[in-house]
Structure 1
Amino acid sequence: MPIDAIVFDKDGTLFDFANTWGAFGRSLVMRLTNNDETRAAALGDVIGYDLAQDRYVEDSIVIASTVEEIAEFMLPHVEGFTLTELIDTMNVEAAAATQAPAVPLKPFLEGLRQSGLKLGVATNDSEHPAMQHLASVGIQDHFDFIAGYDSGHGYKPGPGQLLAFAAHIGIDPSRIAMVGDSLHDLQAGRAAGMVTIGVLTGVAKTEALAPMADVVLPDIGHIPAWLERN
């Protein structure tokens, strides 16, 4: 069946995960431990972040969880923060994170739109930082729909964000592709009845994504050629 729309995950999909969030991980754990490297390394271990390597392990809670879930998980391991304060601190740090596009995003998205596709973003990030990230590289206006975990549609692996996108653009979910770098993304796509496309610009490897993906591609730049073949 032809694809009439695409909904993208943000982190690890539109933006390369390691190159974007490695520095964020360091700045966050250092800030939460008053720049104590020993405590920061220990806090990094809690969330699956290797401070020495500036990278996340494959099963890090940071990869596919919401800010609230991560904060709840971290709270027993930090001092002097309420849950609300911790969430606010994380959102401030996240909004300031410099984004590393997985491919040159403006021409990529403009090409998809010129071919008649409707485009959306469904992220487990908060809506406000997500908007800032997209705006920081000049692509916020390229999307017909943008939802964070706190936008009122639920969060992945639930299908709520994706079904809200389908309803917003008036296209049957079976004619929409969900693109993501994690099992949460692909599980959400399957639950919504969408085509699922895995990409390798996150932490997960092909073998982890393949069971839930109709196809696994190196990055989103390979999508137009795949669409032409299918």
Structure 2
Amino acid sequence: MTIEAIIFDKDGTLFDFAATWVAWAEGFLLRATDGDRARAARIGDAIGFDLETREFSPESIVIAGTPVEVTEVLAPHFPEMSREELFRMLNEEAEIAPQAEAVPLAAFLEQLKGFGLRLGVATNDAESPALAHLDEAGVRGMFDFIAGCDSGHGAKPAPGQLLAFAKQIGVAPERIVMVGDSTHDLFAGRAAGMKTIGVLTGMAVEGDLAPHADVVLPDIGHIPAWLGR
């Protein structure tokens, strides 16, 4: 089967998860608690983040959850803030979080486009920080489709974002590959009828991803070889 398009998850796939989201978690928690590290550490536990070791647990809601889901978990810990204020602060901190590209993205994406592939992004992050991150990397214009959890197509593991991509570019799902670092990504890909590639630049290990992927690769840089191009 000829592959005509690839849709990527963002965090943990295009960008290294830990390098980005550890800084986000630390920045948000300290900002939201006015620098009270003891309170920040307690609240960090609620979202699976250890402030002292600066590590996420594999079960953290942040890894594959949406900002709305993270807000719901955090809301009871911030009675002084409305959910709207909390959601806005989460996204503000996400927009300024440092991005570590999994591979040099511009060159990698140019290579894929040189193969004639159409490209998309489907993230459970909100659309605004997603666009900011892709702009910062200088690659936003290389994608035919970019959807966040609030773009009107739902969120993974449901397949809505992926099917919207397929519809927009006019390519059958079975000719598209979904690439992601979490089972949410791979479940969405399978539900959409796409091929699936797992990558190890997120928090999941190969054993988590392999049952749901056509292949598990160290990072997205190995995709051209897998495609045989």
TM-score by length of 2: 0.99
Tell me what 2:146 maps to. 146
Q: Residue 80 of structure 2: SS of its match in structure 1?
A: coil
* 1:207 is the counterpart of 2:225: no
Q: Distance in 1 between matches of 2:50 and 2:216?
A: 27
Letter aligned with residue 204 of structure 1? A
Q: Distance in 1 between matches of 2:25 and 2:117?
A: 35
Deviations 1:157-193 (A, max 9, x none): 0000000000000000000000000000000000000
- Equivalent position of 1:49 in the other structure: 49
Q: Distance in 1 between matches of 2:24 and 2:178?
A: 26
Aligned to 1:170: 170
Q: What displacement does 1:79 show? A: 3.5
Q: Secondary structure at the residue paired with 2:216? A: strand
Equivalence for 2:58: 58
Q: Where does structure 1 differ by over 2 angstroms across 4 or more consecutive aligned residues?
A: none
Superposed counterparts of 1:59-98, under 5 Å = 59-98=59-98
User: 1:156, 1:70 → 2: CA distance?
Assistant: 14
Corresponding position of 1:114: 114
SS in structure 2 at match of 1:197 = strand
Q: What is the distance in 2 between the residues matched to 1:129 and 1:20?
A: 12
2:14 is the counterpart of 1:14: yes
Displacement of 1:143 in angstroms is 0.2
The alignment status of 1:228 with 2:222, answered yes or no, reads no
- Cα deviation for residue 58 of structure 1 reads 0.6
* Equivalent position SS for 2:157: coil
| Cα distance in 1, alignment partners of residues 180 and 81 from structure 2 | 32
* Secondary structure in 1 matching 2:81: coil
Letter in structure 2 aligned against 1:186: L
Q: Could you tell me how far apart the structure 1 residues matched to 2:52 and 2:228 are? A: 43
TM-superposed CA distance for 1:34, in Å, is: 1.4
What is the CA-CA distance between 1:110 and the residue it aligns to? 0.2
Question: Which residue does the alignment assign to 2:189?
Answer: 189
C-alpha RMSD over aligned residues: 0.8
C-alpha distance in structure 1 between counterparts of 2:28 and 2:49, whole Å = 11
Counterpart of 1:162, as a letter, is L
Q: SS where residue 178 of structure 1 aligns?
A: strand
Deviation string, structure 1 residues 126-174 (Cα, Å, up to 9, x no partner): 1111000000010000100000011111110000000000000000000
CA deviations over 1:23-51 (Å, ceiling 9, x no partner): 11101111121111111111111000011
Deviation at 1:54, TM superposition (A): 1.3
- Per the TM alignment, residue 219 of structure 1 is displaced from its structure 2 partner at its CA by 0.3
Q: Deviations over 1:63-111 (max 9, x none)?
A: 1111011001110012411001100010111011111100000000000
In the alignment, which residue of structure 2 is the partner of 1:40? 40
| SS of residue paired to 2:62 | coil
Whichever residue aligns with residue 48 of structure 2, its letter is: G
1:181-230 C-alpha deviation (Å, 9 max, x unpaired)? 0000000000000000000000000001111111000000000000108x
Query: Secondary structure in 2 aligned to 1:68?
Result: helix
1:159 maps to which residue? 159
SS in structure 1 of the partner of residue 119 of structure 2: strand
Aligned to 1:123: 123
